[in-house]
Structure formats: C-alpha cells, structure tokens
C-alpha cells in the first residue's frame, strides 16, 4: 500500500499519474465516501499484506468500482463514461484502485464532503 505522505499529496493535488496517464480525483459525496470507507476498513489487513482478492468479489464490482470510476477522470472524462477503459488500460487498474480507496476516503479526515 502507498505511504500516507504520498496519499496526502495525491489528495491535495487531486491528481496522480500512472504509466503516463494522469488521473484526476473528483470530490466525493458523503454517501459514496462512506461506502468506500466501510469497504476499505474490511480489506485493510489484506491490503497491508498485498492481497487483492477483493477485486473479484461482487460487492467490489457492483458497489465499489462504480463509485471509483465515477470519481476519477482522465482527460476531463469520467472513467465510467469511457467504453472499455480497463481493457485498454489494464496495467493501471490495480495501482489506481490501491490509490483511489484511501485517497477518496481521506475526505473524512482532511476535508469537507460535498
């Protein structure tokens, strides 16, 4: 998992580059942030050990991934609005998810929720 200093910088800058693609993090609504935070708390120990089995669970696919894809843009367009985004950017998937979960939930400790 990423160190806190790096995550705080990403949160403050609202952007992060992975494999040459700049990802822009939108501010997140309370209900969505709460859902992500609850999920993150369930998988924290797995993440600390490098276990990403949660990526293949229905709750991740049905609830968590859509929130993340709606909250991150590439070139001003939400990932959720880009057809086959992950088919074309597979190498970015895991690193972005591992950054997005703590960054998008940092709103509870660092800022206001819209």
What string of DSSP letters covers 8-57? Answer: HHHHHHTEEEETTEEEEEPP--HHHHHHHHHHHHHHHHHHHTT--GGGGS
**What is the reported pLDDT for 53?**
95
Q: 84-101: per-residue pLDDT in tens?
A: 999 999 999 999 999 999
Mean pLDDT of 5-11: 90
Write down the pLDDT at residue 110: 65
Q: The pTM is what?
A: 0.91
Angle at which helices 30-48 and 90-105 cross, to 10°: 110
pLDDT given at position 114: 46
């Amino acid at each position: 998992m990423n160190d806190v200093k790096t995550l705080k910088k990403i949160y403050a800058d609202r952007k992060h580059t992975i494999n040459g693609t700049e990802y822009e993090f939108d501010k997140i609504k309370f209900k969505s942030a709460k859902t992500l935070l609850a999920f993150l708390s369930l998988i924290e120990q797995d993440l600390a050990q490098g276990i990403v089995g949660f990526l293949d669970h229905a709750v991740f696919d049905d609830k968590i991934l859509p929130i993340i894809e709606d909250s991150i843009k590439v070139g001003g367009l939400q990932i959720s609005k880009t057809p086959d985004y992950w088919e074309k950017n597979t190498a970015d998937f895991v690193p972005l998810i591992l950054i997005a979960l703590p960054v998008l939930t940092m709103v509870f400790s660092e800022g206001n929720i819209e």
